[in-house]
Structure 1
Amino acid sequence: MTRVEIEFCVPCGMLDRAQDVQHALLSEYGERLESVALVTGDSGVFEVRVDGDQVFDKDEDEYDVDAIVDTVGEHVSAAA
């Protein structure tokens, strides 16, 4: 099963954004995910990793919850 980590900057106040992504992933893929973990970080980090592979980095990608969900979905489908 697929594991997702959402690392977010605590001092930057990105908890709401991380929770939005977490909720969207769980709503879309539910039991097909082993876990969707929130990982605290700092220095402006906001990254999403699937089974250890980075699929989103706010420094390189435009923040779009739907796009993140779709990208994670590619990994969920591949693992099925």
Structure 2
Amino acid sequence: MNAMNRLVHVLQSLGGFATREQLESVRPKLKDVMKVSVELVDAGWAAWDEAPDGSQQLRLTENTLAMMSPNAKKMTHGQLR
């Protein structure tokens, strides 16, 4: 599994989005997590947004969710609204 797919999997497991702190917690498994997050954004798979508490969070885009399996999409789609 390449690094971008790993990060998408991590985001799926966290409900479709993650704060910087949550992303940093996966660093041992994904060394360049911030570099990969930039690649995900550049590819249009994810976007940085402001969380309700004012922090930054990385979230999967609607297009990425649409490409996922129906079960994974159902798991994350409602939490992105």
Higher relative contact order by CA 8 Å / sep ≥ 6: 1 or 2? 1
TM over 0.5: no
Q: TM-score, normalised by structure 2?
A: 0.29
Q: TM-score, normalised by structure 1?
A: 0.29
